[in-house]
C-alpha cells in the first residue's frame, strides 16, 4: 500500500510538473520562423533544403512537445536587411514566433538579430559567416552555430601561407561578411609574414567578374583570395579558370566554399582547392547516417549549413522539452549549459558570447581519379580543435564577455 501511494504521489507530481511546464509554452505552440535566401545566390547552401533539415528535426519530436504543437513559418529574405528586419518584427509581433532559424547573409543576420534583441526572441544563426555576429554585434538573444570567418582565415589562409603563398590579392564581396573575412585573412597573412598587395570589392551577385580577375592577374600576387560565397565564388573560380590564373602560377584560395559550390564546379575544375568547413557529410558514421536520410528527402547531400540547421534545431527543441518553456532566455541558458554531441559536433558548447564552439576541418577537393561518386568531393586534411578554431574570448569585443 505504501509503495502504491508513493507511486501515485510521484505520478501526480509528474503530471503537475508537465502541466506547469506546458503552461510556460506561449500560445500552447512552439513557433519557429525560417528566414533564408530561397531564390538568390545563396539558395543552395541553405534555402529550401535548409527548411527540409529544419522539418526533419521537428518530425523527430513528433511535431509537438508535451502536447504543444511545433509550427514552422518560412520567408525569403531576398538578401535584404530591410526585408529581414520587417519580416522578423512581423513574425514576433503578429505571429508570436519564438525562435528564428536559418539567417544567411551577414548583413541580413545583423539586422534581424537587432530586432530579436529588442523583442526577446531567440535566433539560431547557421548560414552567416561574419565573426562580428558574436563579437561587436553579439546579443543575449542569438547563437552562432555552424562557422564564421575567423576559422576560415585561420584554417585556409594559414595553410596557404605555410605552403609559400606570401603575397595576396583579395577579391571581396562588398558587405559585412566579405569585409569581416578580408580583415581576418589580412590579419592571418600578415601574422605569418605575408602581405596583402591589393584588394578589390564587388557587389553581391555580380554577373561578370572579368575586370576583377584581370586586376588580380595584373597584380602579380602569388595568391588570389576569394572573400565571397555562393554563386559569387563559383563565378569567380570559373572566370579565373577562363583567364588561366592557375596556369600562370597564381593560387586560388576559396576562403568560403560550400559542398554545393564544389558539386556545381565539378572536381575537374575544383580539384586541389583547400577550404575550411565546419562539417562534411562523409566524415563519420553519424554524419553519413543523417546525410543518407537527407538525401532520400532531397536528392542532394547536405551542406554544412543545412546540417547546422538540423543540429541547432534539435538542441533548441531538447531545451524546450527539458525546461518546459519557449522563453528565449530560459532555452538559451539550457542550450549553453548542455554539451552538443550529435551528427554535427562532438563535445560542442555555447560560449557566453553566443559562439557554438566545435571542431573545424581543413579539407581538399579530390581529383576526378580520387572521387568515387557525384558527392565524394572532399578529403579531410586536418582537424582544427574548436578551442583553436574560433576567436579566443580574450580578444572579444562582445558586451556579454568579462575579459
**What are the extents of the domains in the chain?**
28-147+283-358, 150-277
Bridge partners (DSSP) listed for residue 390: none
Q: What pLDDT does residue 403 have?
A: 62
Secondary structure of the chain in HEC code, one letter for each residue: CHHHHHHHHHHHHHHHHHHHHHHCCHHHEEEEEEEECCCCCCCCCCHHHHHHHHHHHHHHCCCEECCEEEEEEEEECCCCHHHHHHHHHHHHHHHCCCEEEECCCHHHHHHHHHHHHHHCCEEEECCCCCHHHHCCCCCCCEEECCCCHHHHHHHHHHHHHHCCCCEEEEEEECCHHHHHHHHHHHHHHHHCCCEEEEEEEECCCCCCCHHHHHHHHHHCCCEEEEECCCHHHHHHHHHHHHCCCCCCCCEEEECCCCHHHHHHHCHHHHCCCEEEECCCCCCCHHHHHHHHHHHHHHCCCCCHHHHHHHHHHHHHHHHHHHHCCCCHHHHHHHHHHCCEECCCCEEEEECCCCEEECCEEEEEECCCCCCCCCCCCEEEEEEECHHHHCCCHHHCCCCCCCC
pLDDT at 159: 87
Beta-bridge partners for 379: 364
Per-residue pLDDT at 58 = 98
Q: What is the pLDDT of residue 125?
A: 98
Per CATH, 28-147+283-358 and 150-277 having the same topology is answered yes
| CATH code at 150-277 | 3.40.50.2300
**CATH assignment of 28-147+283-358, among 3.30.70.20, 3.40.50.2300, 3.40.920.10, 1.10.760.10:** 3.40.50.2300
CB environment 35-70: b (16+ within 10 A), e (fewer): bbbbebbbbbbbbebbbbbbbbbbeebeeebbebeb
Q: Across the 403 residues of the chain, what is the mean pLDDT of every consecutive 10-residue run?
A: 38 40 78 96 94 98 96 97 97 97 95 96 96 96 96 90 93 93 94 96 94 96 94 93 89 92 93 92 98 98 98 98 97 98 98 98 93 96 93 96 80
* Cα distances (Å, whole numbers) of residue 345 to 37, 49, 334, 386: 25, 20, 17, 10
- The whole-number pLDDT of residue 336 equals 98
Amino acid at each position: 500500500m505504501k509503495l502504491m501511494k508513493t507511486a501515485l504521489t510521484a505520478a501526480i507530481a509528474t503530471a503537475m510538473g508537465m502541466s506547469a511546464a506546458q503552461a510556460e509554452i506561449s500560445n500552447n505552440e512552439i513557433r519557429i520562423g525560417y528566414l533564408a535566401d530561397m531564390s538568390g545566390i545563396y539558395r543552395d547552401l541553405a534555402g529550401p533544403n535548409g527548411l527540409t533539415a529544419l522539418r526533419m528535426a521537428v518530425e523527430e519530436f513528433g511535431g509537438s512537445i508535451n502536447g504543444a504543437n511545433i509550427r514552422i513559418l518560412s520567408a525569403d529574405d531576398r538578401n535584404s536587411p530591410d526585408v529581414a528586419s520587417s519580416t522578423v518584427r512581423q513574425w514576433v509581433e503578429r505571429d508570436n514566433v519564438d525562435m528564428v532559424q536559418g539567417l544567411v547573409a551577414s548583413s541580413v543576420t545583423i539586422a534581424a538579430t537587432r530586432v530579436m534583441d529588442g523583442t526577446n526572441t531567440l535566433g539560431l544563426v547557421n548560414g552567416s559567416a561574419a565573426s562580428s555576429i558574436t563579437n561587436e554585434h553579439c546579443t543575449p538573444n542569438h547563437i552562432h552555430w555552424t562557422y564564421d570567418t575567423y576559422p576560415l582565415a585561420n584554417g585556409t589562409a594559414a595553410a596557404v601561407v605555410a605552403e609559400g603563398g606570401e603575397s595576396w590579392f583579395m577579391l571581396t564581396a562588398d558587405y559585412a561578411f566579405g569585409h569581416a573575412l578580408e580583415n581576418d585573412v589580412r590579419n592571418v597573412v600578415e601574422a605569418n609574414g605575408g602581405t596583402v598587395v591589393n584588394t578589390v570589392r564587388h557587389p553581391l551577385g555580380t554577373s561578370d567578374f572579368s575586370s576583377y580577375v584581370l586586376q588580380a592577374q595584373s597584380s602579380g600576387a602569388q595568391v588570389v583570395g576569394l572573400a565571397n560565397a555562393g554563386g559569387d565564388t563559383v563565378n569567380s573560380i570559373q572566370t579565373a579558370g577562363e583567364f588561366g590564373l592557375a596556369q600562370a602560377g597564381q593560387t586560388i584560395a576559396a576562403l568560403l566554399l560550400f559542398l554545393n559550390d564544389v558539386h556545381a564546379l565539378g572536381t575537374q575544375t575544383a580539384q586541389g582547392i583547400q577550404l575550411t568547413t565546419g562539417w562534411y557529410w562523409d566524415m563519420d558514421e553519424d554524419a553519413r547516417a543523417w546525410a543518407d536520410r537527407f538525401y532520400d528527402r532531397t536528392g542532394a547531400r547536405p551542406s554544412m549549413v543545412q546540417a547546422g540547421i538540423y543540429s541547432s534545431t534539435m538542441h533548441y527543441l531538447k531545451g524546450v522539452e527539458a525546461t518546459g518553456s519557449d522563453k528565449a532566455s530560459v532555452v538559451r541558458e539550457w542550450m549553453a549549459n548542455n554539451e552538443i554531441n550529435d551528427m554535427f559536433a562532438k563535445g560542442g558548447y555555447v560560449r557566453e558570447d553566443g559562439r557554438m564552439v566545435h571542431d573545424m576541418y581543413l579539407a581538399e577537393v579530390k581529383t576526378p581519379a580520387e572521387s568515387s561518386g557525384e558527392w565524394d568531393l572532399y578529403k579531410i586534411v586536418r582537424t582544427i580543435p574548436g578551442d583553436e578554431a574560433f576567436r579566443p574570448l580574450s580578444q572579444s569585443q562582445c558586451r556579454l564577455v568579462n575579459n
